[in-house]
Amino acid sequence: MGKERHPDTRRLMITADGSGSEGYRVCLWKRELRALAKEFALPIAACQLPTGTSTWNKIEHSLFSFITINWRGKLLRSYRTIVQLIAATTTDAGLKVRAELDEKKYPKGIRVSDADFNAINLERHAVHSDWNYSIAPNAKMPRALMQK
């Protein structure tokens, strides 16, 4: 996060595709955002693109064509090869990619209890409140700080 480089940081904003594991209806996603907020001791504003609109993500949209060009004609036989080719991608505008293979095993089917979910200090934003909300690292946070 680089809090040493940005000591005056008051909140973290995360934008995400609104589908899959980070979907706006996924309780585990929100629980883990709260854990991240607690770790950084900062509120997190989550702003999610509606399902099916990931083409609005300008970086993703402009980067995929360059990744495709970079691995054209290459045999994609392993995850390591794929990640190395993605990491070697640059764009005409100078965007450089950092990619690494995450080989950790993640458990499936994790359920968030009602008690755990209710412990999340979630404040919905005024605009598109299903997709846009803030999560506080603790039980109480001033409303003004959540929405700034």
- pLDDT tens by residue, 23-82: 666 899 999 999 999 999 999 999 987 766 665 567 677 788 888 888 899 999 999 999
Strand partners, 44: 12, 135
Length of the chain: 148
Q: What percent of the chain has pLDDT over 90?
A: 46
pLDDT, tens digit, 9 for 90 and up, residues 74-92: 999 999 999 999 999 988 8
124 part of a folded domain:
yes
Residue 146's Cβ-count burial label (10 Å; 0-12, 13-18, 19+) is: buried
Residue 2 counted as domain residue: no
Number of domains within the chain: 1
Contact 121, 106 (CB under 8 A): no
* Residue 132 counted as domain residue: yes
Between CA 54 and CA 5 the distance in angstroms is: 31
Residue range of the domain that includes 76: 12-147
Residue 6 lies in a domain: no
Q: Is residue 104 part of a domain?
A: yes
Kindly list the distances between the CA atom of residue 128 and the CA atoms of 6, 42, 49, in Å, as whole numbers in the listed order.
29, 22, 10
Kindly report whether the global pTM for this prediction surpasses the value 0.85: no
Residue 44 near residue 11, CB atoms below 8 Å? yes
Q: What is the DSSP letter of 96?
A: B
Question: Does residue 123 lie within any of the structural domains?
Answer: yes
Does some domain include residue 1?
no
Residue 108 lies in a domain: yes
